[in-house]
Amino acid sequence: MRAMMKRVWIVAAALAAAACQAPVEPVAEEKSDRLMRGCGEADRLLEQMKSAESSFQLDGEGNATIRRSLWSSLPDSMQDGLLKAIAYDAVCKAGEPREQVVTMRSSESSEVLAQQTITEFAR
């Protein structure tokens, strides 16, 4: 159990670090390139999170589940990083930059733990 929690924390820390990168306002082509790089990174980190935590599931449309106790134990910056990675996943699967609503629910009860609109992908 401790080893699994350690892996989850490592992945969550990586997600938070990726989310904290200062956004810049590049021209449209650079923004598209940045989005594509973000797609690959988000996919890699989310796959790690899924393999480290069995309660973590996502549907590719901005909806995800996680154990309430794990979500509550994550610092705000890690929660924000995870939400942004989920948004990247949905935007990348849709194939178009847009605002993305992300909803995190408890895997035990489907209670909404967080809901956020990520706007950094909008044109």
Q: How many domains does the chain have?
A: 1
Q: Which residues constitute the domain of residue 47?
A: 2-118
Reported confidence tier of residue 5, pLDDT bands at 50, 70, 90: low
pTM: 0.76
pLDDT in tens, 7-20: 555 565 555 555 44
Strand partners, 57: 65
Distance CA 82, CA 17 (A): 10
Q: Are 116 and 49 in contact (CB under 8 A)?
A: no
**92 falls within a domain:** yes
**55 falls within a domain:** yes
**123 falls within a domain:** no
What is the predicted pLDDT for the residue at 106?
Answer: 97
Name the helix (H) or strand (E) containing 87.
helix 76-94
Q: Of 70, 66, 58, 74, give the one whose Cα is nearest residue 108.
A: 66
pLDDT in tens, 34-89: 666 778 888 999 999 999 999 999 999 999 999 999 999 999 999 999 999 999 99
Reported confidence tier of residue 2, pLDDT bands at 50, 70, 90: low
What is the predicted pLDDT for the residue at 30?
Answer: 62
Judged against a pLDDT cut of 60, whether residue 3 lies above it is answered with no
